Amino acid sequence: MSFSRGSFQKRKKPKNTNETESSRFCLLNENVFPGLIFKKNINNTQSTLTVLKNRPNIILSEKNIIILDYSEVIDEDDINQLHATFSTLIPQQSTFTINNARYVQDEFSIDITIDGNYEFLNFMNNNLIVAKSSSNIGNFDKMKWKGQFFIKTPQIEITNKFFSSKKIDKLTNLIYKPNFNNWGIMAGDKLNFIGTKYNDENDAMVIYINDDMTEITLSEIIRNESTIGLPIKIQHLRQCSTIKSDVIYETQEPIKIENTKK
């Protein structure tokens, strides 16, 4: 038995309902995956050294006190790293180090490196880090530095391994083919699972998909489950009102599975 990747389909709107166009989801892709692992409530652990891709704005609040402002960052991976790094640090007790932080803004004759050790003071709104430098930054009180003027992306390092208080649910695909590479999965899409023991008909919302398309962070998984060797069908859906009519997805050959019994 095999399932092929479906062509673009719209679910028919039932008669006599109040369902609006903006609430309907359309089927974009479907296929069978025999190498899936469902992970529920896992620790969002990170290395002690970040690999951030985005550069923060810097607000120089008072003497040697700075705010690293990541409020413009939308990259989910960066946001998860920041939360994992700072959500469990203790104000006025925890410390961290900033690396790669040379700032050059010629129009104001600023060329300064703020690498060094910092005392952690506060973590606000999941994107603002308040800290105090252990050394003199300079006479730059009440100023804002724009992230674009950092020569490199500043990275943050802490002394001990840490675990975020924020739990996440993930779906991992351990096989090479079929895969999600040509599905165009985006945050806000939904995945529907058919053939699992615990996670069928879940309609889990996509929060983030990693760069190599092998691991997807989802809004909720019902239970931990390994379905390696079992033919689990995944349906990929998106809100109909957001789909452009000229979007074309590449086809992907279905995988053939002779025995579908669990």
CATH of the domain at 232: 2.40.30
Cα dihedral value 26, 32, 33, 38, nearest 10? 50
Cα dihedral value 177, 181, 183, 186, nearest 10? 140
- Whether omega before 254 lies within 30 degrees of 0, making that bond cis, reads no
Residue 193 pairs in a beta bridge with: 234
Instruction: Indicate the residue type of 46.
Output: Q
Q: Are residues 102 and 126 in the same domain?
A: yes
What are 181's two structure tokens? 């590479």
Q: Specify the pLDDT at position 45.
A: 57
Which of 75-84, 195-204, 219-228, 246-255 bottoms out in mean pLDDT, i.e. has the lowest? 246-255
Q: Are residues 154 and 236 in the same domain?
A: no
Average pLDDT over residues 247-258: 47
Which of 5-9, 201-205, 224-228, 253-257 bottoms out in mean pLDDT, i.e. has the lowest? 5-9
Split at pLDDT 50, 70, 90, the class of 51 is confident
Evaluate if residue 248 carries a pLDDT over 50.
no
Last residue of a domain, one of 94, 125, 160: 160
* Parent domain of 199: 21-43+167-242
Q: Are residues 58 and 153 in the same domain?
A: yes
Choose among 57, 145, 144, 49: nearest CA to 96.
Answer: 49
Query: What is the tally of structural domains in the chain?
Result: 2
Which of 12-26, 69-83, 177-191, 202-216 bottoms out in mean pLDDT, i.e. has the lowest? 12-26
Evaluate if residue 249 carries a pLDDT over 70.
no
Say how many C-beta atoms besides its own lie within 10 A of residue 262's C-beta: 10
